[in-house]
Chain A
Amino acid sequence: MPEGGLTAVLRRSTALRTTVRHCGIGVGALLMFAAILLAAGKDPLKAYVDTFHYTLANSYGFSELLVRMTPLLLAAVAVALPARLGLINVGGEGQLYMGAFMASAGAFLLPTAPRLILLPFVAFMGFMGGAIWAAIPGILRAAKLVNETISTLLLNYVAPLIVSYFVFGLWRASENSAYPQSSPFPDAALLPSFFNTRIHAGLLIAVVALLAYWLLLEKTRWGVDMRAIGGNAEAAQRLGIPVPAWIVTALAVGGGFAGLAGMGEAMGIAGRLRQGLSPGYGFAGFLIAWLAGGRPLGIVFMAFLFAIITSAGDTLQMTQGVPYAVVNILLAMILFIVLARRSAGGTSK
C-alpha cells in the first residue's frame, strides 16, 4: 500500500487526467463536428458562437441548460450506482416513467393535502415508482433467473404503456379535444421553481443525489462492499457480504433516482401526466454515466455537455437552418471518440 502523500498525488493526477480526458473528448468532437458543418456549407465558427450566445451567455439559455441537466443527472446516477456492483441498468427511461406515474398517483390520491405534506409524499411516491420498477429486475437477477441488462431494457417498453393506459383512461382530461393527458395536478403538488425560470426543486434533488452517491462510494463501508461485489461477487459472498440483497438494493435505489427524475419532469415542468414526458432522458443518462465512468464530477460534466449539445441542435436549426439530425452526428462522434480511446488502451473504467 502506498503512503498517504503518494496516494494524494496519485489521486490528484487521476483527477487531472480525467479532466483532460473529458475536455479532450469535448474538443475532439467539436472539431470533427466543425468539419461536418463546413462540408454542409455552414459556418462552424458562427454555429459555435450562436450556440454560446444562446446558451451560456444568456440567462434564459443558461437556466434552461440547468433544467435539461436535472433529469440527466438523476438518470445518470441511476445507472452509475448499480454499475459499482457490475450491474448494467439500461432501464432508466422506464424507471423515470414509473416515477412520474407514481408521483401523479400520489397527487391525485391526496388532491387537497397541504403543500407541506403533498410535496414530500409526491417525491416519495416518485422515488418508489422507479425503485419498484428497478427492484423487479434486481430480484430476478439476485435469484439468478434473468440478466438485469435484458429485463431493465425490456421494462422500458412497459412503463410508458402503463402511463398511456392511465392517460387514455382513468386520468384522461376532459377539457377541449380530450388530447390524451391527465388533468392538471393540484397546485400543492407542483415543485417550486426559482428565479422566475423553469429551474425547479428537482435540481436540488439531483445535486443531493450526486453528493449522496459520492459520499456512499468514497466515505462509507457500503461503498467498499459494493466495490468488492463489483470486483468479484463470489469472493464478496464468501467474505460475508449479502450479495443478493445488495443487488436488489442497488438497483432499487438507482431506479428510485430515475423515478425522481420522472417526478421532476411531471411536477416541475409538465404540470400533468402525459405520454411523451421524456424525450429519452433515461437513455441519455445511461450514456452519460458510462462516458463519465461513473465518476460524480464526470457525470456533471457529461450532463452539461449533453445539455449544451441538444440545445445547440435547437439553436442551429433556428439560426442556420441545420437539420436536427446533425446533432445526432455530434453525439455519435463523442461516443466514437470515447470508444476509440478505450480500445486504443486508454483508461478503461
Chain B
Amino acid sequence: MKSGLSVSWIVLACCLAAPPAFSDPTQLIIGVVYVGAINDYGYNASFHQALTQVATNLPGVKLVEVENVPESGEAERVMEGLVQQGAKLIFPTSFGYQDSARKVAKRHKDVAFAFAGDGDTAKNFGVFFGSTQAAMYPMGVAAGKMTKTNKLGFVIGMPIGYALGNVNAFQLGARSVNPKARTVVVVTGGWSDKAKEAEAANALLDQGCDVVAMHVDSPKTVIQTVEARGGMSIGFQSVEARVLAPKGWITGLGFTWAPYFTELAKSVITGRFRGEAVYQGLGKMVAIAPFGASVPPDVQDLVNTVAAKVEKGFNPFTGPLTDNTGNLVLPPGAKVGADQMGRMNWYVDGVIGKAR
C-alpha cells in the first residue's frame, strides 16, 4: 500500500513534470550561474543582458538562470541541476565557481562550459574574460581632468591582481594628464558588501576625494553614495550604471559580452565548441559608457583619443615603473600583459594603499 502510494506519486510527478509539447523547438538551453542578483546594475547585469540578447537573437535558444549562488559547495549542485534541466552550455560567471565548474565539466563531457576566469582549458571547458585594465587608463585620464582636489578614490572588493591592475592603470592615466593626481584605495574584502561599500565611499569623500571609481560586483552603492554627496563617479561593470548618477557621472567601463556569447552559442549548436582561453579588451568585450552632462567636450575628445590608442594596443604597464614604496617593479621596456595581470601584486607610484 505504502509503496504503491509512493509509486503513484512518482508517476504523477513524472506526468506533470514532463516538458510541454514542442511548439518552439529548443535548440540549445544555456544555463547561467550568478553570484549576485541580475538587477545589480553591475557584473551580474552585464551577463544577464548579454545572454538575454543571445536568447532573443538566436532562434530556439532558451536561458535558465540561477541567481545568488554562493561560491561554496552550493555551486556544484546548481550546475548539476542545470545539466539535468538539459543545459548544453553553462556559464559559471564568478571566479569562485572554478573548482565546482571543473568537477561538473569532468562528469559531463557533452556539456560546454564557458568560465569567466582563468586556468586550464579542456575540450568542453573554455575560459574568458574582458581585460579592463588597459581600458582603465582612459578612465584615469577622465578622472584626472575632472578632479578639483587632485585626490581620486577607488573602492575594490578584493586585492586580486586584476583589481590592482585596474587601480594602477587608473592612476597612470590620471597622472598622464594631471601630475598632482593621486588615487586612494579602499578594500572592502568582498565583491558585494553594500554596507562596506557605502562606508568606503564615504571615507574617500571625507578624505577629500572628489572622483570615485570602483571594482566591485555592483557599482550601485558606491555611485549612489557619491552622487548623494555631490561627488563624481567613474562606473564599472555595466554601462547602464550611468542612470544612477544623473549629476556626478563622468564615464565608465562596461562589459559587452554579447558578440562573443553569440559565437559560443552558435558553436555549441553546430557541435564545433572547443574550450579556449579568450581575453579581449577595449572595443571587444569592454566598452566605454556615454559621458555625463558635466564633462566638457575637450575632455571627452581627449578620453576618446586615449581610448583609441588603447584599442590599437597601447599598454600602460610599460617600464620603467616604480611602485608606491619606491621599488622599480618594471625595468625600462618591460611590460605586463593581460595574461600576467592576475599575478600583479603592487601599486604603482601615486596610489595610496598597501598591496601586500
Contact = CB atoms under 8 A, between A and B. Distances in A.
Contacts of A269: 72-73
Interface in B232-261: none
Contact of A278 (B72, B98, B343): B72
Interface residues of B, number: 44
B81 A315 contact: yes
Interface string B13-35: 11011000000000000010000
A176, A269, A323, most chain B CB atoms within 10 A = A176
Interface stretch (B132-140, B153-161, B202-210, B315-323): B153-161
Interface in B51-106: 64-74, 76-78, 80-82, 84-85, 95-96, 98-99
B66 A317 contact: yes
A193 B96 CA distance: 23
A103 to B, nearest CB: 15
A279 interface: yes
B118 interface: yes
Contact of B99 (A45, A270, A317): A270
B355 to A, nearest CB: 12
Contacts, number: 105
Interface stretch (A46-54, A223-231, A341-349): A46-54
Contact of A318 (B17, B64, B159, B343): B64
B189 interface: yes
Contact of A176 (B12, B119, B159): B119
B74 A53 contact: no
Interface in A237-279: 265, 269-272, 274-279
B81 A318 contact: yes
B67 A323 contact: yes
B342 interface: yes
Contact of B84 (A54, A178, A265, A279): A54
A57 interface: yes
Given A49-B17, A176-B342, A178-B343, A54 B81 contact: yes
Interface string A72-83: 000000000000
Contact of A177 (B67, B81, B162): B162
A324 B68 contact: yes
B81 A265 contact: no
Nearest to B98: A179
A60 interface: yes
A198 B85 CA distance: 20
A83 B356 CA distance: 43
A187 interface: no
B118 A177 contact: yes
B275 interface: no
A324 B74 CA distance: 14
Nearest to B15: A49
Contacts of B69: 314
B314 interface: no
Nearest to A45: B16
A278 B70 CA distance: 8
Contacts of A3: none
Contacts of A265: 72-73
Given A176-B118, A177-B95, A57 B10 contact: yes
A110 B315 CA distance: 45
B72 A177 contact: no
B316 to A, nearest CB: 20
Contacts of B66: 314, 317-318, 324
Contacts of A319: 85
A164 B189 contact: yes
B117 interface: yes
A60 B84 contact: yes
Given A49-B16, A269-B73, A324-B68, A177 B159 contact: no
Given A64-B77, A279-B74, A318 B160 contact: no
A45, A179, A272, most chain B CB atoms within 10 A = A179
Contacts of A52: 9, 13
A301 interface: no
A314 B81 contact: yes
A277 B77 contact: no
Contacts of A175: 119
A312 to B, nearest CB: 11
A50 B17 contact: yes
Nearest to A321: B65
Interface in A128-153: none
Contacts of B17: 46, 49-50, 53
B67 A324 contact: yes
Given A177-B342, A198-B73, A270-B72, A57 B99 contact: no
A168 interface: yes
A270 B75 CA distance: 11
Contact of B159 (A45, A61, A168, A272): A168
A265 B74 CA distance: 11
Interface of B: 9-10, 12-14, 16-17, 31, 64-74, 76-78, 80-82, 84-85, 95-96, 98-99, 117-119, 158-162, 189-190, 342-343, 345
Given A49-B12, A67-B77, A318-B82, 14 more contacts: A49-B17, A52-B9, A176-B119, A177-B161, A177-B342, A178-B160, A178-B161, A179-B160, A181-B96, A265-B72, A276-B71, A279-B72, A318-B31, A324-B67
26 contacts: A49-B16, A49-B17, A57-B14, A58-B84, A68-B77, A176-B98, A176-B117, A177-B119, A177-B342, A177-B343, A178-B342, A179-B95, A179-B98, A181-B96, A198-B73, A265-B72, A269-B72, A270-B99, A275-B71, A276-B72, A276-B96, A314-B78, A318-B31, A318-B64, A318-B85, A324-B68
